[in-house]
Amino acid sequence: MKVGDPQDKETVQGAIVSKEQFERVLYYIEEGKKEGAKVVAGGTRWGEKGYFIRPTVFVDVKDSMKIAREEIFGPVMSILKWSEDEDVI
């Protein structure tokens, strides 16, 4: 997934909308790590300028974790396991 200038046709993900939201997304990434989720992709700032964050994927996420319970509004995906279909529903 190419991160960068949204005017570039190859770009899939542009910048976060504001500094406040950028910092909020980074906060959630750090909280996910602190609570025991594992980052398997991304999890860091992209580039030196602007509010870009690499697409981030967490595994070993539990329902009780903040990254599973709250809306992040950023390029963060949490993968949770389940054993029964009812758990998903």
CATH number at 31 reads 3.40.309.10
For 54-71, what is the mean pLDDT? 96
* Residue 35 located in a structural domain: yes
pLDDT band of residue 77 (cuts 50, 70, 90) is very high
- Asked if the structure places residue 56 within a domain, the reply is yes
Within a domain: residue 75? yes
| Per-residue pLDDT, 88 | 75
pLDDT bucket at 51, cuts 50 / 70 / 90: very high
Write out the residue range of the structural domain in which residue 30 sits.
19-88
Please report whether residue 8 resides in a domain: no
Which pLDDT value is given to residue 1? 85
Q: Do residues 52 and 45 touch, judged by C-beta distance below 8 A?
A: yes
Helix (H, G, I), strand (E, B) or coil at 8: coil
Distance CA 66, CA 34 (A): 10
In contact, 19 and 73? CB cutoff 8 Å: no
C-alpha dist (Å) from residue 34 to 25, 46, 65? 14, 21, 10
- The tally of domains found in the chain comes to 1
- pLDDT given for residue 86 in this prediction: 84
Kindly state whether residue 5 falls inside one of the protein's structural domains. no
In a domain? residue 2: no
Task: Supply the pLDDT for residue 83.
Answer: 85
Per-residue DSSP letter, 45: B
